[in-house]
Structure 1
Amino acid sequence: MMCTAFCPNDAFEVNGYHLETRIQSLSPKEDLFVSCFRETQLHPDELVVPCVGALSLVHLLALCLKSFGKLVFNVSACESCENRAAAERLESLVALLKNHHDRIEAELIINKTATETMSPLTAESRRSFLMGLKNSLVSVVESQLPSFQHNPTDKVSRNRRVPRKVKLLRDLLNQLDQKKKDLVSSLCLYEIRVTDNCAVCPLCKGICPTGAIKIEKVDNHKTLVIDNTLCSGCGLCETFCKNDALQLQRPEGLDMAKEGGNC
């Protein structure tokens, strides 16, 4: 499931489950509990994900900065799961975010022991919720998470659209003050630095697979314009630049995000 977290262009996803949409629909609240479908639910109003490995750094920042008092990740069943490396990676990401407590007010908690039980009413509500996601998730769990096919009903939205992670990231940046924007940018965004050697030729623009590089022309003066939110860090622009004018800088959170094993 970690491949869904790392992929910047929605090429890997749980069929029919869009975590970014779920996060955007959340309203600020005092506490938020997050768990996977195998966990015992600790709270009736819980964000249930297919696997904690699906949580990217962008997802975590969006949750942290939604004014939650506590953000509790329930990983009590992860130790016995074949995907337990995902929980280890989540712990690394949470530790990284805790280092920025001056800009992240939410209290981040990793819960490894399920001590609370659900009432029968809550359990029934949870079962109803799971049944509502039957077509997209129950079949996934039963088939041990195979390679997923694109949802044919989503064909129109896949025609050169902005990836959902990018939309979530942009919405997050638009809502934050400058101090928190700087944090999100340093942790999540690649930076393409343009030196004076740039001749503003169209090579990097043409080779960029995500449309992150554009050329603007004003009064016969051309300028290279970079949209860092679209940059996937592929490095093609840096590699193929004839003048060595581009320098790609990795975000601070990238190496930490990749700790915890393979997907």
Structure 2
Amino acid sequence: MPGGTALSIDGELCVNLRGRTLSCRACATLCVSSALKLSEDAVTLNADKCTDCGACLPACPTGVFSMQGFSPSHFLHELNSHDEVHIHCSANTDKTEGISIPCLHLLDARLAATAFAAGTRIFHLPGLDHCEQCDKGNAIHHIITTQNRLTQWFGIDSAPQMIIPTALLAEQKGEHQQHEKQSPQISRRQFLQRAGLRVVASVNLCSTPAEADDTLRSQHGFNHINIEHQRPVAYQSLLAEKLTELPWVANEIPWYGRAINHECNACLACGQRCPTGALQVEHNDAGRGISFKTELCTDCGLCTQLCPMDAIRRYKVTDITEVIAPRSALMYRYHSTCPHCAGDFLPQAEDEELCSTCQKEQALESEWLGLAQQ
């Protein structure tokens, strides 16, 4: 691989570049080797430092990163809906059965939930024995957090189980509670209650063919990127496909919606720059607007950051039907002709007859007339 790393970067999707401010550091915060450098102009990878742990893949809300040798969809295919699976990391040399992935950091709650919907209920993770000494970083906290999230979504009795070796769980439990005070904790008994079920009898390498890597380092300035480039995030889209097949706890669907109020000035920046395509520009001869498809939204926050009118509202989605609903219009403005200047404009309200320039001129004339009459 170029630069000695399996990681690829599509920097055009980064919220920092699109928003022109360093508002997200999710990937760099998790990078144990400090291989990622972020700015308003680039996502830069030091390939010599990168350990190919892949923690940045599920952490990034906009899908900036991909990795040769791992694909979320291919991983699910390899699980093959087995009730119980063994998942090994690349550092684990005892791979007598199960599936191998580069690092357990790649397994997040969305991916585990999607596998759960397909039939997988028990995840044995023997590779965790190597975590504390591994140069890819310690994934134990990440796995405990993932189990906590699954329990939050589906409840203790229904959630799939991450089987952590008992000794490791005992060592890590106290330290993890300091970092996750507000997350529901899973007891050792709950982790191990179904450990006697059957296992998958064959080993498979969860890998995909190499793809062209022209985005290893995204070092182009803002003026050189395509800010209208959009792509769904795989982790999110795969879960959305299985949304109706899962036993969600009430109000725990991990999606947020968007609404646009009358303050919107139809600048269309939110739809133009949305990385995932959740927000899109609708433009034709009659007018222009913004449409929204909930299932594509990863709640990256870029739209609310960009809006100059503070017109976008974020809200928690509680109904599955809203997530899987077709794309719908959040805002649409019809073209109108100003009777004063004959110019084309987009009224913000139905009773708005003059363009904003003529409105200001009219207000100024009224003000001067009022002063003259005093």
TM superposition score category, shorter chain reference:
0.5 to 0.7
Partner of 1:226: 292
- Counterpart check, 1:244 vs 2:303: no
Partner of 1:23: 76
CA RMSD between the two structures = 4.0
- Counterpart check, 1:78 vs 2:131: yes
Quickly say closer, same or farther: Cα 1:106–1:90, change in 2 above 3 A: closer
- State whether residues 233 and 276 of structure 2, in contact with CA within 8 Å, keep that contact through their aligned partners in structure 1: no
SS of the residue corresponding to residue 294 of structure 2 reads coil
Partner of 1:151: 211
Mapped partners of 2:74, 2:307: distance in 1: 37
- State whether residues 28 and 66 of structure 1, in contact with CA within 8 Å, keep that contact through their aligned partners in structure 2: yes
Question: Which is helix-richer, 1 or 2?
Answer: 1
- Letter of the structure 1 residue corresponding to residue 242 of structure 2: L
SS of the residue corresponding to residue 143 of structure 2 reads helix
Partner of 1:165: 235
- State whether residues 76 and 112 of structure 1, in contact with CA within 8 Å, keep that contact through their aligned partners in structure 2: no
Give the one of 71, 96, 102 matched to 2:149: 96
Q: Mark the runs of 5 or more structure 2 residues left unpaired by the alignment.
A: 1-53, 169-200, 216-228, 318-374
Mapped partners of 1:105, 1:232: distance in 2: 22
SS of the residue corresponding to residue 93 of structure 1 reads helix
Quickly say closer, same or farther: Cα 1:214–1:180, change in 2 above 3 A: farther
Deviation at 1:8, TM superposition (A): 4.1
- Letter of the structure 1 residue corresponding to residue 211 of structure 2: N
Partner of 1:235: 301
* CA deviation string 1:37-74 (max 9, x = no partner): 22255762x12211011122211221233323422222
Quickly say closer, same or farther: Cα 1:212–1:67, change in 2 above 3 A: same
Partner of 1:110: 164
- Letter of the structure 2 residue corresponding to residue 56 of structure 1: D
- State whether residues 258 and 315 of structure 2, in contact with CA within 8 Å, keep that contact through their aligned partners in structure 1: yes
- State whether residues 33 and 43 of structure 1, in contact with CA within 8 Å, keep that contact through their aligned partners in structure 2: no
- Counterpart check, 1:176 vs 2:245: yes
Mapped partners of 2:315, 2:56: distance in 1: 22
Quickly say closer, same or farther: Cα 1:203–1:86, change in 2 above 3 A: same
Partner of 2:273: 207
**Number of aligned positions between the proteins:** 216
* CA deviation string 1:79-105 (max 9, x = no partner): 222334322111122123224326844
Mapped partners of 1:231, 1:69: distance in 2: 27
> Higher mean Cα deviation, 67-76 or 50-59?
67-76
- State whether residues 34 and 47 of structure 1, in contact with CA within 8 Å, keep that contact through their aligned partners in structure 2: yes
* CA deviation string 1:114-135 (max 9, x = no partner): 9xxxxxxx8xx75xx56x96x9
Deviation at 1:2, TM superposition (A): 0.8
Mapped partners of 1:194, 1:93: distance in 2: 33
- Counterpart check, 1:68 vs 2:120: yes
Partner of 1:56: 108
> Higher mean Cα deviation, 241-250 or 89-98?
241-250
Quickly say closer, same or farther: Cα 1:80–1:178, change in 2 above 3 A: closer
- Letter of the structure 2 residue corresponding to residue 109 of structure 1: I
Deviation at 1:180, TM superposition (A): 6.7
- State whether residues 30 and 69 of structure 1, in contact with CA within 8 Å, keep that contact through their aligned partners in structure 2: yes
Q: Which has the higher contact order (CA 8 A, sep 6+)?
A: 1
Partner of 2:194: none
Give the one of 81, 87, 91 matched to 1:38: 91
- Letter of the structure 1 residue corresponding to residue 280 of structure 2: K
> Higher mean Cα deviation, 206-215 or 30-39?
206-215
- State whether residues 143 and 162 of structure 2, in contact with CA within 8 Å, keep that contact through their aligned partners in structure 1: no
Q: Which of 1 and 2 has greater Rg?
A: 2
Mapped partners of 1:105, 1:178: distance in 2: 8
Normalising by structure 1, report the TM-score.
0.63
Mapped partners of 1:30, 1:240: distance in 2: 45
